[in-house]
Amino acid sequence: MNAYFDELKEIAASNQWSAIFPEITLGVLALALLVLEMVLPRERRNMIPRVAVLGQAVLLLAILLLYRDGGGFLGQETFAGMLYHDGPGQAMRLFFLVSSLLVCYLASVAFAGKKLPRVEFYHITLVVTAAMMLLAQSNHFVMFFVALETVTVGFYVLISFYRDQTISLEAGLKYLVLSALSSAVLLFGIALLYGVAGNPLLIGSSADAMNFGSLNAFLLNNPESNLAVAGMVLVLAGISFKIAAFPFQIWVPDVYQGAPMPVTAFLAVASKAAGFAILLRLVTGVFAPMEAVLVPLLTVLATLTILFGNIAALTQRNVKRLMGLSGIAHAGYLLVGVIAALHVPWAVGAVLFYLFAYLLASFAVFGVMAHLSGEDGTGDEREDYLELLRERPVLGGVLVIGLGSLAGIPPLAGFIGKLLIFVAAFQAELYWLLAVSLVGVVISIYYYFGWIKTAVFRNWEMPASAVGDEAAAPRAWPDVSPVSRWVLGSLAALTVLIGFFQGPLSTWLARM
Amino acid sequence: MAGFSSFILQLTVFLPIVLGLGLLFFGKGREALARPLAFAGFAFPAVAALGLWWGFSPDPGTGYAYLSNVPTGLEFIGITLQLGLNGISLPLFLLAGVAGFAAGSYALHAATDRWREYVSLLLIMHGGLMGVFASVDVFFFYFFHEVALIPTFIMIGIWGGRERHYAAMKMTIYLTLGALLSLVGLIALYVQSGADSFSMLSLRSALEGETLSTAAQNYTFALLLFGFGILVSLWPFHTWAALGYGAAPTSAAMLHAGVLKKFGLYGLIQVGAPLLPQGAENWMFLLALLALGNVVIIGFVTVAQKDLKQMIGLSSVMHMGYCFLGLACLSAVGVGGAVILMFAHGLTVSLLFLLGNCIYQRTDTFDMREMGGLARQAPVLAAFFVTTMLASIGLPGPGLANFWGELTVFIGLWQYREWMVVPAVFGVVISAIYGLRAVGNIFYGEPTEAFREASRARKILDIQRHERTPVLVLLILLILVGLWPRSLTDSINASVVPLYEQFDTPRAEATYPDNAAVNPAALPACCAPAASRSESGL
């Protein structure tokens, strides 16, 4: 194996292909799935999901064991400045790979016993994952935009994956329209930046103004150019759509509710994280010279996002919409971390830590939701969680830990994430945002604990005679397979463990 | 030897948590093994705390004994798990150990459904409580508080009584708000002090040389005061307390009202006031007024209660007022009195909740109007209850520790503002009214018709063995410290005096970097209390 990698490295010296070894592997795996579907006889096709999961697991191990240094490319630009590889990018690669693995697991739960095409789902998931990895490492607006559109187009299909459910199709259409709009805005912003930075009359202008490095050099010389400011604002608006920051969050509740559960999770975690990865790169790198505009802008954005997300989630009874709206609030806290990263370098690690904690907790919660949720939107109300802990202790326990971590309750990982962001915000003297975040966290306790309350607390049952005959039929509780026990159990265990022993994760991220 | 004691200290924190988690996940169907293990988890911290109390000899340099560090990986923002005990934390650590044992051993025999979950949550809470008072690191001090708080919420929700959904939600929202405010205050303290870690020791040494500016002290102390104040049910932020305790299952109420609630006061005494002296002085008068609100207003509210459990819960809110008053004196006498009172009150209120539940099991009601004459069937229970109630009132009775606490607080208060002693002592009269009336209603007088019916239906037993053990453990410690207060006060003094000496001298102008250039006559009005106090002979 090592010899194989040495050989790869040698080739890399000439053409750099091994710099994107994980992305290529994912692409090849995705294509292989399609080929397998054509080649295999019908009754053997149920092995294709296993191939997808196995392939990703092997890739994950390979990255962890052999590719930790990014193939020796960390800190370098590759492909004529299209990509730039750094520690956070490498961390995000792992992040996306883990989320895609978990999405595949959720699909196995949510699609069980349903008549749906399977292979396409895994194929698109893999392609989208590869595109997110590239997005997080892009160093050029062309790369950025192409990767972003690959992600978005993939999601168009995934969101309306329940093809015969109107709610799913409607969600897909909403995402399509609003996402196309945001892409147009983003593109307009890029064009403005390219135009102004390519103007040879201005100091620091560049022929390759789409490159983040040259654009940064231009902005350093012209931090007050109005056109550049307008371009930056439009680019940020486009990204705000991805991370669902106020006022670009309109699509969230409907799309989250309509999409199949694995896709909702994918949107909530990976798509949001991809937005933050590129936002971190843009804010701390390219746009850093425009701090005078950037900080007030992002501060307003974060304030509104935190308050809107939390207040809107307050009265929500549908759990999918609740996850969407509370996810908006999480985007707000993460934005605070991004702003802090302008002045406090280690805040980048804090944002990444928060994202990893969010990944674990969200997938734990979505995993429980996938067990209870039906194809047509049944099983998604809070009332459907009554007595969950008593009937299915595993699901109930995982739900409590996941929601507790999202609410930021010690000793869970989510608390450490929030703590790191708050300390960073304090060091960056963002007192206003700190106060807003605190208000947000307190509000969020109400709806997260309200959900826990429904699932955990004992409820007095009406005596059977008082209830009508229809209601007397016992509810069908889902079976929890051993795989689910292991996956959900380890997500919850990791959430607790990272709450107590932050060492490995935080030192790893701090090194990044 | 020192290494071994430190290890024991770490074990008191982690053994209950590990046993609790183990019981939760692997205890199913292993009843025979689970009970002794759970008992060990409750008993070990109590025994270890007594041992550590016996061998307590702090290092003269730091004031702490049994110091140890456990790396966490968050050193880059200054967080290490540092455990140790000083004179202020020792009594509360002891209280946490003993009250935890009492609550736990009572819960082991409680006839509840889902027994295993109940006991494991209680074990986790016990471990968290030990951690709160053993932490030298401010961050972990906060962290363990939350570890202990979450099980309370779940226990109220599952095993609670009336209105438990509402009570649990209200309590959680209030307490989270308080905890977050204090967390921000602690972070503010850490960042501004420039200390290299969250440890109280390094915060102290960082602030020794140069104190913070007055403005910074003012707002940081306000964050701590109101954050911690909500947690300690400072009037008017107390409304969660009686409701929550009323709904909580007995053992959870014992541990929360008895031990966990002391977290906020402990934080103010150990961290807030000594490190932010200027801020403390500026806010203390307001705090004293609010604390009088606790004593007098809540006192009257308590008198109006018909429900025994509500009455006990409210009386604990009321007595927190005395502890706040002790702190408000900002003198070694007052603060020392507050610490002793916290210790004694923790034991008393745990006892009251425990005995209250014993009474409930015999009368099937918490409504005191429907009780009466219980002393005839349960004389021993009556004796225990009367003793505890006398202690809670603060009578010098049979050598009870509460008396020493209240007395010292009053002495401190006399030196601070003479007039405040009047309402404070009036509070003792109020507690005597509701306390003695409760004793009379429950145990003496003619039994009501309903109660007579009930006692005809089944035999009312006197206090049983599983109830007697925790009661005796708590009561013996209460009387021991009452008869021999020096066993705790010497070490309390040794820690309190160095921290609170700074308040005895009028502040030199050099400590006002902001105002150094200003005419001394134009010093802010907030300094007036300090000046007048020094004239009154302290």
Tell me, yes or no, if A420 comes closer than 8 A to chain B by beta carbon.
yes
Is B511 inside a domain boundary?
Answer: no
Q: What are phi and psi of A86, to 5 degrees?
A: -145, 180
Give the pTM: 0.82
Is B538 inside a domain boundary?
Answer: no
Tell me, yes or no, if A415 comes closer than 8 A to chain B by beta carbon.
yes
Q: In Å, how far is B430's CA from the nearest CA of chain A?
A: 36
Query: Is residue A200 reached through a cis peptide bond, with omega within 30 degrees of 0 on the bond before it?
Result: no
List chain A residues with CB under 8 Å of B169. 446, 449-450, 453
In angstroms, the CA B52 to CA B6 distance is 10
Tell me, yes or no, if A409 comes closer than 8 A to chain B by beta carbon.
yes
In angstroms, the CA B285 to CA B302 distance is 25
Tell me, yes or no, if B143 comes closer than 8 A to chain A by beta carbon.
yes
Q: Answer with the residue of higher pLDDT: A96 or B23.
A: A96
List chain A residues with CB under 8 Å of B22. none
In 3D space, the residue among A120, A121, A116, A375 whose CA is nearest the CA of residue A261 turns out to be A375
Write out the two tokens for A266: 């994918």
Q: Which of B153, B177, B187 sits opposite A423 (nearest CB)?
A: B187
Query: What is the three-class DSSP state of A97?
Result: helix
In 3D space, the residue among A387, A358, A366 whose CA is nearest the CA of residue A460 turns out to be A387
In 3D space, the residue among A398, A404, A414 whose CA is nearest the CA of residue A499 turns out to be A414
- At A375, is the pLDDT very low, low, confident or very high (cuts 50, 70, 90)? low
Q: In Å, how far is A435's CA from the nearest CA of chain B?
A: 9
Is B510 inside a domain boundary?
Answer: no
Taking CA–CA distances from A502, the nearest residue in chain B reads B73
Q: In Å, how far is B15's CA from the nearest CA of chain A?
A: 15
- At A1, is the pLDDT very low, low, confident or very high (cuts 50, 70, 90)? low
Q: Do A457 and B146 touch (CB under 8 A)?
A: no
Q: Do A410 and B142 touch (CB under 8 A)?
A: yes
Please enumerate in sequence order all residues whose Cβ is within 8 A of that of A407, keeping only pairs 6 or more positions apart, or say none.
A414, A441, A444, A445, A448, A449
User: Can you say whether residue B73 is alpha, beta or left, with left for phi > 0 and alpha for psi between -120 and 50 degrees?
Assistant: left
Taking CA–CA distances from A460, the nearest residue in chain B reads B158
List chain B residues with CB under 8 Å of A507. 73
Cβ-contact B303, B433 below 8 angstroms: yes
- Which pLDDT belongs to residue B521? 41
Is B517 inside a domain boundary?
Answer: no
Tell me, yes or no, if B165 comes closer than 8 A to chain A by beta carbon.
yes
pLDDT at A339 > cutoff 80: yes
Q: In Å, how far is B414's CA from the nearest CA of chain A?
A: 39
Tell me, yes or no, if A353 comes closer than 8 A to chain B by beta carbon.
no
**What is the residue-level pLDDT of chain B in tens, covering all 538 positions?**
457 888 888 888 888 888 888 887 776 777 778 788 888 888 888 888 888 888 877 777 777 877 787 776 666 677 778 888 888 888 899 899 999 998 888 888 876 677 788 888 888 899 888 988 888 888 888 888 888 888 888 888 788 777 777 888 888 888 888 888 888 888 888 888 877 778 887 887 777 777 778 888 888 888 888 888 888 888 888 888 888 888 888 888 888 888 888 888 898 888 888 888 888 888 888 888 888 888 888 888 888 888 888 888 888 888 888 888 888 888 888 888 888 888 888 889 998 888 888 888 877 778 877 777 777 778 888 888 888 888 888 776 656 778 888 888 888 888 888 888 888 888 888 888 888 888 888 888 777 777 777 777 777 777 777 788 888 888 888 888 888 877 888 888 888 887 887 776 544 433 434 443 434 343 333 333 333 333 333 3
Least confidently predicted of A98-112, A150-164, A375-389 = A375-389
Tell me, yes or no, if B177 comes closer than 8 A to chain A by beta carbon.
yes
List chain A residues with CB under 8 Å of B74. 416, 502-503, 506
Q: What is the ipTM of this complex?
A: 0.71
Q: In Å, how far is A310's CA from the nearest CA of chain B?
A: 14
Q: In Å, how far is A314's CA from the nearest CA of chain B?
A: 13
Tell me, yes or no, if B200 comes closer than 8 A to chain A by beta carbon.
no
In angstroms, the CA B371 to CA B362 distance is 10
List chain B residues with CB under 8 Å of A458. 157-159
Q: What are phi and psi of A470, to 5 degrees?
A: -60, -45
* Residue B526 burial by Cβ neighbours in a 10 Å radius (0-12, 13-18, 19+): middle
Tell me, yes or no, if B168 comes closer than 8 A to chain A by beta carbon.
yes
Cβ-contact B290, B327 below 8 angstroms: no
Taking CA–CA distances from A446, the nearest residue in chain B reads B173
Is B214 inside a domain boundary?
Answer: yes
Q: Do B158 and A434 touch (CB under 8 A)?
A: no
- At A475, is the pLDDT very low, low, confident or very high (cuts 50, 70, 90)? low
In angstroms, the CA A110 to CA A218 distance is 49
Q: Do B154 and A456 touch (CB under 8 A)?
A: yes
In angstroms, the CA B412 to CA A10 distance is 80
User: Can you say whether residue A389 is alpha, beta or left, with left for phi > 0 and alpha for psi between -120 and 50 degrees?
Assistant: alpha
Taking CA–CA distances from B28, the nearest residue in chain A reads A393
Strands B65-74 and A76-78: unpaired
Tell me, yes or no, if B231 comes closer than 8 A to chain A by beta carbon.
no
432-451 in chain A: CB under 8 A from chain B: 434, 438, 441-442, 445-446, 449-450
| Stretch (H or E) spanning B429 | helix B421-443
Q: In Å, how far is B142's CA from the nearest CA of chain A?
A: 9
Is B404 inside a domain boundary?
Answer: yes
Sequence letter at residue B69: N
Q: In Å, how far is B181's CA from the nearest CA of chain A?
A: 8
| Stretch (H or E) spanning A231 | helix A226-243
List chain B residues with CB under 8 Å of A401. none
Is B516 inside a domain boundary?
Answer: no
Q: Do A410 and B73 touch (CB under 8 A)?
A: no
Residue B481 domain boundaries: 2-503+524-533
Q: Do B173 and A442 touch (CB under 8 A)?
A: yes
- Which pLDDT belongs to residue A159? 92
- Which pLDDT belongs to residue A28? 93
Q: What is the pLDDT of residues B115-163, one digit of tens each?
A: 788 888 888 899 888 988 888 888 888 888 888 888 888 888 788 777 7
Sequence letter at residue B14: F
Work out the average pLDDT over A338-356: 90
Q: Do B164 and A457 touch (CB under 8 A)?
A: yes
Q: Which of B73, B147, B176 sits opposite A411 (nearest CB)?
A: B147
- At A88, is the pLDDT very low, low, confident or very high (cuts 50, 70, 90)? confident
Taking CA–CA distances from A393, the nearest residue in chain B reads B25
List chain A residues with CB under 8 Å of B157. 453, 456-458
49-108 in chain B: CB under 8 A from chain A: 71-74, 76-77
Q: Do B72 and A502 touch (CB under 8 A)?
A: yes
Taking CA–CA distances from A445, the nearest residue in chain B reads B173
- Residue of B10, B26, B72 to mutate, interface with A, max A Cβ within 10 Å: B72
CB pairs A-B closer than 8 Å: 81
Strand partners, B69: B82
312-351 in chain A: CB under 8 A from chain B: 346
- Residue of B13, B79, B223 to mutate, interface with A, max A Cβ within 10 Å: B79
* Residue B410 burial by Cβ neighbours in a 10 Å radius (0-12, 13-18, 19+): buried
- Which pLDDT belongs to residue B524? 39
Tell me, yes or no, if B147 comes closer than 8 A to chain A by beta carbon.
yes
How many structural domains comprise chain B? 1
Cβ-contact B394, B319 below 8 angstroms: no
In angstroms, the CA B389 to CA B406 distance is 15
Query: Is residue A117 reached through a cis peptide bond, with omega within 30 degrees of 0 on the bond before it?
Result: no
pLDDT at A463 > cutoff 60: no
Is B513 inside a domain boundary?
Answer: no
| Stretch (H or E) spanning B80 | strand B79-85
Burial A344-376 (b: 16+ CB within 10 A, else e): bebbbbbbbbbbbbbbbbbbbbbbbbbbbbebe
List chain B residues with CB under 8 Å of A505. 73
List chain A residues with CB under 8 Å of B177. 442
List chain B residues with CB under 8 Å of A433. none
- Residue of A387, A398, A426 to mutate, interface with B, max B Cβ within 10 Å: A426
In angstroms, the CA B517 to CA B512 distance is 9
Q: What is the pLDDT of residues A6-51, one digit of tens each?
A: 776 666 566 677 788 889 999 999 999 999 988 888 888 888 888 8
Taking CA–CA distances from B183, the nearest residue in chain A reads A419
| Stretch (H or E) spanning A442 | helix A431-456
